[in-house]
Amino acid sequence: MMPGAAEVEANYDRLAPLYEADMGQSMAFDDAGWYLAQLQDVSGRVLELGCGSGRITRRLAAAGLGVMGIDRSAGMLAASAPRTWPALRADIAALPFVNGSFDAVLLPYSLATYCLDEETLARVLGKCRRVLRPGGRLLADLFVPRPLPLDGQWRLDYERQTAGGTLTRWKRLLPGDLPASRRIERRYRLAGNPGVHEWTSRESIRPWTAREFEEACVELGFIIALRAADFGRPGQDPCFRSWVFRRETKRSRAPEATRT
């Protein structure tokens, strides 16, 4: 199990019924469309790690891709029902598949930030490489780290209308226990019928830089095939970086990546 995985699992189990109104609406870009575009010519099996409520998986399955998903959170998997793709409860650091099972593996929505140190990141990427066929693709994205104050002050994130009432979220950042990590606490308030519900989630992340992530992937035998900013729609100050890597068939010098 990854460090901090049990805490993250509990958070997402609690949040699952409201995930689409919370994290889902917080994605300002068409990340699912970008992933679909990179997989249009894939005829084999596709694995999405951390598939959750199926926000991305659903788009891939609807386009006819042979996709399946895994997630640690039983609540999030339940929220994806009814679904037309197979899903399995599993840890991304212990993929229960034989070698070379997939033509593509997805690490979407900054999932790699739950790898809190270099060892854990290498273990997850190594599992991805193992289940990919030679020449298979690893697709991933990460938010661009910002110099945010780790001062423990609560700040309003949003107030949104949902089917269950008005959902309000505050967030504060604290230094993490491990080098370069952060503690994130989110306070939720759902005011609807019946009554008002409040709860707080807590988790740790590691905001990897693009260079750190690329170096970790290349070290484990991936070639950078494509780099993109904001899922192909970059502004002057990108919020996300995304990649397509290919699993090397043998160790060789990586060609220069395409940029979009």
- Three-state secondary-structure class, residue 35: helix
Predicted structure pTM score: 0.92
Q: Which of 108, 2, 99, 101 is nearest to 49 (CA)?
A: 108
Mean pLDDT within 142-155: 94
- 5-145+208-259: CATH number: 3.40.50.150
Q: What amino acid occupies position 141? A: D
Question: What percentage of residues in the chain have a pLDDT greater than 90?
Answer: 83
Paired tokens of 155: 């700040």
- Biggest CA–CA distance in the chain, Å, is 61
Buried b (16+ CB within 10 A) or exposed e, 9-23: bbbbbebbbbbbbbb
Sign of CA dihedral 260, 46, 29, 222: negative
Neighbouring-strand partners of residue 105: 47, 138
Kindly tell me if the per-residue pLDDT of 260 is higher than 60. no
Radius of gyration (C-alpha) of the chain in whole angstroms: 18
Cα–Cα distance for residue pair 53/117, rounded to 1 Å? 27
**Using one digit for the tens of pLDDT, what is the confidence trace for 16-27?**
999 989 998 999
**Which pLDDT value is given to residue 193?**
78
Paired tokens of 215: 């170096």
- Three-state secondary-structure class, residue 217: helix
Neighbouring-strand partners of residue 51: none
Q: Looking at 16-89, list the stretches that DSSP marks H as alpha helix, in order from N- to C-terminal side.
A: 25-26, 31-38, 57-62, 74-79
The CATH fold assigned to 155-205 is: S-adenosyl-L-methionine-dependent methyltransferases (2.20.130)
- Residue 111 DSSP code: G
Mean pLDDT within 218-246: 94
**What residue spans define the domains of the chain?**
5-145+208-259, 155-205
Res. 257 pLDDT band, cuts 50 70 90: low
Whether 57 and 69 have beta carbons less than 8 Å apart is answered as yes
**Using one digit for the tens of pLDDT, what is the confidence trace for 71-125?**
999 999 999 998 999 999 999 999 999 999 999 999 999 999 999 999 999 999 9
**Using one digit for the tens of pLDDT, what is the confidence trace for 30-55?**
999 999 999 999 999 999 999 999 99
Paired tokens of 115: 């790898």
